[in-house]
Amino acid sequence: MTSLPERYEAYLDCLNAQEWGRLGEYVADGVHHNGRKLGLSGYREMLIGNYEEIPDLSFKAGLLVCEAPRVAARLDFDCTPKGDFLGVPANGRRVSFAENVFYEFRGGKIVTVWSVVDKAGIEEQLKAG
């Protein structure tokens, strides 16, 4: 059996490889995201949409804290959104930002995700450039 940190890193590898058929190995059918029940198909659609908006998207855990059944991660991104990103006109300009995410696992799968992106940091970078 893999440890929770190993399981989480395998989940990130799945996202980075865009292996959507394997997402159900890591995410529960009834997953909730920021208080909304998306289900596995809705969660998959959200992630696919992220990659459509940001083709060079790559998930990297800059900070990871695990205390079963929860994982807290600060994900570091350096990418180039195609158009508007979180309501901010990025239009192909490179941005670096963090996302603070908390996950709850049950039965080895993610059942709940709480996520906050540093939108102010994105706005500041794009205003300056």
Residue 34, token pair as written in the block: 């920021």
Instruction: Quote the number of domains for the chain.
Output: 1
Question: For residue 41, what are the CA distances in angstroms to 24, 51, 93, 119?
Answer: 9, 15, 30, 26
Range of the domain at 71: 4-128
CATH number at residue 101: 3.10.450.50
Distance between CA 15 and CA 93 in Å, rounded? 23
For the chain, what is the mean pLDDT?
Answer: 95
Distance between CA 19 and CA 48 in Å, rounded? 10
pTM (two decimals) = 0.93
pLDDT in tens, 28-86: 999 999 999 999 999 999 999 999 999 999 999 999 999 999 999 999 999 999 988 88
DSSP E strand boundaries for the chain: 27-33, 36-37, 60-67, 70-79, 84-85, 88-89, 95-106, 109-117
Whether residue 5 is predicted with pLDDT greater than 70 in this model: the reply is: yes
